[in-house]
Amino acid sequence: MTQRPYIVGNWKMNGSRTMLAEARSIDRAAQRYPDVEIALAPPFTLIDALREAVSAIGVGGQDCHAEVKGAHTGDVSAAMLADIGADFVIVGHSERRRDHKESNAAVRAKAKAALAAGLGVILCVGETLAERDAGKAEAVVGKQIDGSLPKGEGIVEAIAAARLAIAYEPVWAIGTGRVAAIEDVIAMHAAVRARLIAAFGDSHAKVRILYGGSVNGENAGALLAAEGVEGALVGGASLTADAFLPIIAAASRPID
């Protein structure tokens, strides 16, 4: 059975309580698109309130700590996210790899903790412009995948339950208005899929590969129709219902 496309809004460090109105509008509209799985990842401060405000869409965090609890001032664990009703967490976003020097090993530990807490995981990978220009994009992303995919006991079962997605987000396409060329997106998604097959065998089919980087209502149709693109991780264009809903509509296939 094919899975639904997955459209996720990453609000990053944006959002105040007034933006719950946007989430409510997105949630109401989401009910018209049952063939699309839709979710929002607001800042930690809004997860609880957003969870209360919506019913048709998923709610997740943008990061988690790898430990369950302890002396880690300012951090939030996957178990704490699960406790307040989060469905998933994003790990390894390039902004965290950059701002917090997160290594592949650290990202893997977070992904593992999140799956163990019963959360879904969106694991982000992507190359910089210098890496792409040097012809190293696939090698860099391959190394990120191999180094940060969760491993160990129970992981294959979690993945078979469709709790893992990969987001390919070329760093140079994030927040720049510059979208990767469709043929490059197709090639990279195929390369990621090959790594998933090598890592997880038959369970790989349950892992959706999303594209992220300047997705908007205008370009979403072409991106989501591209081979191997099973959803989108959207930043700026997920902050309002007006901007986000056309992306959801683009992911929706007419029901026969």
In this structure, are residues 84 and 92 in contact, taking their beta carbons and an 8 Å threshold?
A: no
Residue number with CB closer to ligand 13P (94 or 203):
94
Residue number with CB closer to ligand 13P (111 or 233):
233
* Residue closest to ligand 13P when measured from CB atoms: 235
Residue number with CB closer to ligand 13P (110 or 116):
110
Residue number with CB closer to ligand 13P (19 or 215):
215
Rounded to a whole number of angstroms, the minimum distance from the CB of residue 202 to ligand 13P is 29
In this structure, are residues 110 and 64 in contact, taking their beta carbons and an 8 Å threshold?
A: yes
Rounded to a whole number of angstroms, the minimum distance from the CB of residue 180 to ligand 13P is 11
Rounded to a whole number of angstroms, the minimum distance from the CB of residue 72 to ligand 13P is 24
Residue number with CB closer to ligand 13P (164 or 237):
237
Rounded to a whole number of angstroms, the minimum distance from the CB of residue 124 to ligand 13P is 7
- Which positions touch ligand 13P (CB under 6 A)? 10, 93, 169, 174-175, 212-215, 233-237
Residues acting as catalytic residues: 93, 169
Rounded to a whole number of angstroms, the minimum distance from the CB of residue 35 to ligand 13P is 22
Of 144, 168, 145, 160, residue with least CA distance to 229 = 168
Burial of residue 213, with CB atoms counted within 10 A of its CB: 0-12 exposed, 13-18 middle, 19 or more buried: buried
